[in-house]
Amino acid sequence: MTSSLTRLTPVLAALALSACASAPTPMAGPPAPTPLDTWSARVQIVAQPEEILLAPHATGLSGTQARALAEFHARWTLAEGGMITVAAPTGTQGAGAYRVSADARAFLVAQGARPEMVRLVGYDAGAAAGAPVIIGFQRYAAITPRCGEWTAATSTASNQPYGNLGCAITANIAAQVANPGDLAAARPMDPADTGRRMTVLGKYRAGETTSTGRDEQASGWISRAVQ
């Protein structure tokens, strides 16, 4: 019996070592959420329409309407808005509404908006006289959590962060973002410059310098003028 145990001892030891060696390494889980993460989840990004109304004129876009449309275009540019819709009333509105809507689209394109980003559509205004031309786009706004409901940091002996910790930081960051739509989703990436990429790869394979040439006018010297 003793000899049998003696022969089995190396086998059992080898099995134990192989079991230890094949044990899976525990994976590190996601980091525990912090109070800042909790408040960030409470920031709401909502889409709100930005619109202006232009009265129809038989002569087309007036000077006052052109100035209002220029301010509208500036807000659209600042908000990095998407599609602009120029909605003209249909039916018995006459040619004034169509003339203003066509002039408005041409004005926005002249201001710098790409033609494919300004869409001319119609809407049913019924029998209402003088129905306006509606020009608008969807912009995003950040609704921040309500802060200021402070609790005394010394009211608990558990040494845990109090409820409003991180609220003001999150609210300030959300309010300072130029385009709250960036908080909702990432922007689409532009296509890569394949021509430049192939040029750099060609120089790399040839052992040449891949950086651009030095511009003497862009040096760090303050002045080279003779005093």
* Residue 225 placed within a domain: no
How far apart, in whole angstroms, are the C-alpha atoms of residue 54 and residue 97?
Answer: 9
pLDDT for position 227:
46
* Residue 70 placed within a domain: yes
pLDDT in tens, 113-165: 999 999 999 888 877 778 899 999 988 888 888 887 666 656 666 667 676 77
C-alpha angle 104-61-99 in degrees, rounded to nearest 5: 70
* Residue 14 placed within a domain: no
pTM above 0.85, yes or no: no
Which DSSP symbol is given to 43? -
**Amino acid identity for residue 25 in this structure:** T
* Residue 110 placed within a domain: yes
Residue 118 sits in a domain whose CATH number is 3.30.1330.60
* Residue 111 placed within a domain: yes
pLDDT in tens, 53-99: 999 988 999 999 999 999 999 999 888 778 999 999 886 556 788 89
Binned at pLDDT 50, 70 and 90, residue 27 comes out as: low
C-alpha angle 127-131-132 in degrees, rounded to nearest 5: 165
Contacts of 217 by beta carbon, 8 Å cutoff, 6+ apart: none
Task: Provide the mean pLDDT of the chain.
Answer: 78
pLDDT for position 170:
83
Q: Which residue segment(s) compose the domain that 81 sits in?
A: 49-138
Torsion angle defined by CA atoms of residues 102, 108, 112 and 116, in that order, rounded to the nearest 10 degrees: -60
* Residue 31 placed within a domain: no
Among 172, 165, 166, 101, which Cα is nearest to 131's?
101
- Domain count of the fold of the chain: 1
